Each structure stands twice: as C-alpha cells, then as structure tokens.
Amino acid sequence: MRLSTVLSTVAILFASKTLAMSWEEADKKARKWCEDLTNEEKIAIVTGRENMTGVCVGSIDPIERKGFKGLCLQDGPAGVRFANGTATSWQAAINTAATFDRTLLYKVGEAQGNEFYQRGINVALAPAMNIQRAPAAGRIWESYGEDPFLAGQCGIEVIKGMQSKGVIATAKHYIGNDQENNRGASSSNIPEQALWEVYMEPFYRAVNDASVDSIMAAYNAVNGTYSVQNKRLLTDYLKDKLEFQGFVMSDWWAIYDVEKSFGAGMDMNMPGGKYWGPNFIGDSFWGEHIQECIDKDIFPQERLDDAVLRIIRSLYKAEQMDDYPDVNLYVDTNTKENIALNRKVGADSNVLLKNDDAILPIKKTNKIKKIAVIGKDSMPTKFCSDLGCADGTLPLGWGSGTTDFKYIVDPLSAITKRAKKEDIEVVSYGKDDAKGGAEAAKDADLAIVFVQADSGEEYVTVEGNKGDRQSLDLWHDGNELIDAVASANKNTIVVIHAPGPVNVPFLDKVKGIVFAGMPGQESGNAITDVLFGDVNPSGHLPYTWAPREDYPTDVKYDAALQGGGEEKTQYNYDEGLFVGYRWFDKKGIEPTFAFGYGLSYTTFEYSDLKVEMKEDGLHVSVTVTNTGSVAGAAVPMIFLSFPDIVKDYPSRLFKGFDKMMLEAGESKITKIFIDNHDLSYFDVESMKFVKPEEGEYTVFAGSNARDLPLK
C-alpha cells in the first residue's frame, strides 16, 4: 500500500520513558551528593579496583565517610556469571529475539534483573546490541540478529525489564564490535549513514526509549580511532546528540592510556588495571594519572566532575543509593518461575524450518511407535570453564556471556520421559559416528538427529575456533551423520543447536528441521515440547540464512595483533546500509531461509491491510486468520519502502511486528505503530534524521522478508 508523506522535513528527537525516578530528579540528588567529594574520592569512583580478582568481575571501592558501599558489576546477557549454579542459565539473546515477542523479552529482562538485584549486583553487563553482519562472527548469539530495528526493540524490552528491578542495565558493545578476530586491534570502518542507521540505531533506542543507565564502549576502533578514545562517538554523538545522561564504561582492559580515553568521554575504567592479573591491582592507566592530567591542563577538572556525576546520577535514578542489598553472588534464584520462563522462551524460540508430510508433531496416532534419538548433541553436557568445549548438548556459546550451569536438561532424557506418555519406545545412539547412527535409525519409525556448531569469545579457542567460526559446517561430522541416518530412515528429523546459520547440504534428504539455537538450561524440555506438539512452534529467524559466500561480508582470520596498538585489522563496512536481507534484496539473491522465516503446525492468512499517516507517525492495521486446525501464534511483520527521493536506499526495511495467539479459525486485527524516527533516514549533510517531505512510502505486510503478500 502506498502512502504519501504529510509532514515537513524535520529532525527527529524522541523520548518515551517510564522511570521510577527521572534523570532530572536524579541529577539534583547526585549534584548535592557530589558537592564535598575530594578528587581522590572522585578518581576512585571512576577507576575499577580489584581488576577482576574479587567477587565481582568489576568493582568500585566504597567511600565509608559517605556511606557509599562501592559498586559490583557482573556479566551478562544469559544470566549472572560466576554464580556457581545458583542463578538461572538463560537462553542466548538470539533465541529471545527469535520469539519476536515483546512481552517475553520484557519478562526475561525483569527476571534477570531480579537475579542481579537479589545478589546486590549494581550493574548488569547486558544486553549486547551489536549487529550480525557475518554469520561466522563469534558472539552473534549474545545479540539480537541482523536488523537494527529488531535489535533496538529487543533491547528496549530487556532493558526496561532489568531496570524495573532497580538494576543498572548496560547496552554494549558501543560500537562496531561485530567480529572477534583482533577485536582489540581492529578498525570497523563504517560509512556515516550506516553508522547511524544500522550500528547506532539499537543504542539510539536504548537511550531514548529505554532510558538505559550505562553503555559499554567496545574494544575495537571505529574509522581508525579506538572506541574508548573516540570523542566523536562518545561525546559528540552519544552524550551531546543523543543526550545520554548515564555513564560509559570500558570493556575489560580496553583502555591503554588516560589522556585520550578519559579526555574523549570515557567515565569508568574497567576492571581498572592496565592488564589482566593480580599484579596490576592498583596499577591503572587512570587512577592518580587523572589528577596529573588535570594539573597539566591536558583535560579540565570538569571532565572528572562530569564522569563522577554521571555514575552517581545513574545510581540515584536506579534508586540504589539507599538500602541496596549487600553483594552475595550465591543467593539461590534458580526458581520454579525462572525455570518455567526459560523453558517457555526456549520452546517459543524454536524455528521450524521444514516439516514435510507433517512429520511433526510426534503422535502415537501417526503410527510412530519407536523413535531413535541420535547424536552426541542429544546427550548430557560436559561442563568446562566458560563453556569452552563442545561435548554433549549445546546450551550456550563460550566466553564471558555464558554462565555456571546448575544443570542442563538433555534432549534424550526429556524425549524419553515424554515418549512414555504416548507409549512410544525410544532407542538412542549418543555418538556422532555415521555408521552407528544409521544402525540405530534403521528399525525406528522416526529418527531424530541432534547436531551442533559452536562459537564464542576470542580469548577461548575451541576445536580450532578462536571465537569466530572457521566455517559454517556442522561440527563433529554432523553432515555425514545426517546423511547416513537419512539414508537408513526415510522419516528423519534434524535438530540443530548453533549460534546462527549452518550449511544444510542435507536439506532435501530429511523431512523435518528444527533450529533450536542455544536454549539454556531447559534445552531438552524446550525442544521436546515442540517435537511432541505440546507447544506449537512460533520462532522466526532474526537473520537471513544462506551460504557463506552469498553474504556481503565476512570475518577475517588475521594473525594476532597487540591490543590497543597502531597496527589494526581493517574491517571495511563497504556494504553500508545493505546488511542481511537488505543485501539479498538488492542483489536478487534467494536465501536458504529468509529473515523472519519460521513455520508452524498451523497456517495463517493475512488480509485487510490499512494504513494512516498521522502527526506522530504511521498507523498500520492488518487482519490475521488462523486457517489451520490447531491454535498457534502468528508474527505479522511490516516492511516499508521509502519515497523515491531517498537515493541509494534499501528496497524494503523491517519496521514493525506483533505476536498474536489465534485459535483454529480465529481472526484478529493487529495494530502496529511506526514512529517518525522509523519513517526517517539519516541525512549526512545536515547530520540529522530527516523524514522525506515528498513522495510515497509503500507498506508491505506478511510473515517474513520474502513472504509479503499485502501491499
């Protein structure tokens, strides 16, 4: 549907915040509290102390005379790190994004926030809001996929949920930390329009819509200048143009100086020491060197005053300055409610990629009397530090974004338990040997093959993969296992645990494929709920799935360079705005599975698209009908084409979605609002977001980027 613009060109500035305490009120309290601080005390507030050797991964010393208890900062996106199994081990953020469910996103943030709060952790080092440019990038499972609008919407809900519990959330990694290779010695060279519309967009939403309290600067450089030394990004853009009122911390050991980093607008040095290890406790690039720089007029006293004010202001806004719990990482918060929520999100994030002959769900009435469960990924997980191994079923990737698991429900155990209710026999083969797998499968009515691929953070190397994946192939000869099983059993289903897309040479050889991602501790129960139809799958891909060579960019595998040095691996973002599905649209490439793709055990029909442009933005409504025989959840998606006067622009942009449960035969109308910011593009000449003053938008509605029947 085409719609003419009705508003003049304007710079777009928005703020839709729901706060326990406003920034203005927090600012007044913080200024008063800071009045009698000495410079020595101020420097202690901005400089990490224990260098990751204490209870928390980051800490700020107390100031006893002020009644200030100090600060505890702790990872991360999948739950509280280093809690020795007392905290919930949640699903990866990419799974949460795959639900396309704002209510669930908020609930996850709220539940995680409560776990941090109960432990007296002041600052949760989450969420991660980087963009999936290349599917082999190591930490894609910690963020929300390839689309900046979706990443921003996910971040809004998680941040609001976390901060509703009084915890400071941290939007990270600002900005362009989209690959692991030489992350501390690389430059992400991003064109200005893409910088704002793609890579800053999630942070824009975090600041303006979620009122996030803190932001973490990235290891990498942007356009040649390290993020932690980049005044343009930190001060000119984030603090001035976006009017961010909170504080900016460094990623761990990302700072290598005081003049450039503190002078550029960094507010907190984490974890404080120059380098890793106990020998550097109290030996910081900051610390007393801040005073030396002030004395030498390298930067003014006001820079220190501002950094401290930002930290204390955020603490007041979060209402942490009085009666905040004492630090105790080992409070048991792995509650029944959290377990149930992790299981639900895990189930709802399963993406059904293929279901020929309605092979799923499994029912005794389908003459399924014997199931073969095959593959090491179906077996109990072997635990190792920061999950730096891939042995057994895969619940999360490796690195600082993972957790200490109390338990993991493995798929074999969960399937066996559920099959008993249907009087279905289960046989298993818990290895990845093709010959053994085929032997186990040949006499079964149905074979389910569990396979995996893994990735993580650069500081851990797993099976030759230093963070980023070496290839998109399944690990442990998964393709050979699937091929052998499918040759032995015509009713073969594949379940994939992985951070993102994998090669699928078996696509035409099997009847069913479920992409389970990284579901956390309730992994086995979550997949079993979907396999047996207790939950109708409603997950959708938050990225485009295609062969590696079809993407516009890739990671590199350069030799290691010294972090913070002049020599850098160069990542040129030459694709500009054309990330993910935008690139595939531009080049006319048919992906294996489109952005937003996901099947259900029922079918949906979209109709009656209506749009109306008003002063506040675009109001869209669409009718969704469940045309199948069982209840299910639909995710109507809205894409926009911009007026022709906007040149060299993606043909369509994802700009709205909803999730709605429908009984069989039921119809509902969903109303989706697209605000003026999302109707705008970034004009590099005026350095503002601008809404076109003439021309027509085209509105598309459907189920994914390549299935948009309404226009």
User: Structure tokens of 549?
Assistant: 């060579």
Q: How does 452-483 read in b/e, with b if 16+ C-beta sit within 10 Å?
A: bbbbbbbbbebeebbbbbeebebbbebbbbbb
Helix, strand and coil percent figures for the chain, each rounded to 5: 30, 20, 50
CA–CA separation, 13 and 686 (whole Å): 14
Q: How far apart (Å, rounded) are the C-alpha atoms in residues 74 and 81?
A: 7
Enclosing H/E stretch for 6: none
List all residues 6 or more positions away from 352 whose beta carbon is below 8 Å from its beta carbon.
360, 512, 513, 514, 530, 537, 539, 598, 599, 600, 601
From residue 101, alpha-carbon distances to 150, 157, 348, 636 in Å are 11, 10, 9, 11
**Contact status, residue 591 vs residue 550, Cβ threshold 8 Å:** yes
Other CB atoms within 10 A of residue 252 CB: 24
| Range 57-81 burial, b when 16+ CB lie within 10 A, else e | bbbbbebeeeebbbbbbbbbbbbbb
| CB 75 within 8 Å of CB 519 | no
**CB burial class (10 A; 0-12, 13-18, 19+) of residue 281?**
middle
Residue 509 tokens, joined = 């050889």
Whole-angstrom distance between the N-terminal and C-terminal Cα of the chain?
Answer: 4
User: Minimal CA–CA distance to 187: which of 558, 568, 485?
Assistant: 568
Residues 88 and 334 sit within 8 Å (Cβ to Cβ) = yes
Q: Which residues pair with 217 in a beta bridge?
A: 174, 250
Q: How many Cα neighbours within 13 Å face the side chain of 5?
A: 23
Task: Please identify every residue annotated as catalytic.
Answer: 251
What are φ and ψ of residue 416, in 5° steps?
-60, -45
- Let me know: does 143 contact 542? Beta carbons within 8 Å: no
How far CA 35 is from CA of 29, 107, 312, 348, 634, in Å, comes to 10, 38, 12, 51, 55
Residue 661 CA: distances (Å) to CA of 77, 443, 539, 638, 670: 27, 38, 13, 18, 11
Residue type (1 letter), 335: T
Question: Any idea which residue has 């622009």 for tokens?
Answer: 649
For residue 309, give the 3-state DSSP assignment: helix
